[in-house]
Structure 1
């Protein structure tokens, strides 16, 4: 009979790493936003770039960070559930 499940410690570790990846993306997104704000750059190209950053790029990074956070929580919940089922 086949066993289904996961190594609980590895699954917890995966959850932690996914959430850490989320935090790192948020940190980098914020650092890049600050760098862009502090860059002395004027004109239509600067306006277009800043608009694209705010409207597209920063939002895309935020969505990836949110997805990683949720995936990390899901993996951690699965590990907890499997641990409880094993008792």
Structure 2
């Protein structure tokens, strides 16, 4: 997928704009990494097949255009709970 096609997608375009990413930029050094609008990206998806798929799509997209973000541990994952257990609720 080329950058022009990717940026035509509303969600991808919003993610790139919100994070302050630039296509073709290498974020290996700290100065470039600090130029981004946020210090980290935290992916918080549901722990179902759809959530896992969405997380995979985001990581794959970032790896394709900005692999240095993954190497710099810029991308993190929040593992949401599968269920909630309550005591004495009956």
Give me the TM-score of the superposition, normalised by structure 2: 0.30
Point out the structure with max Rg over C-alpha: 1
Give me the TM-score of the superposition, normalised by structure 1: 0.31
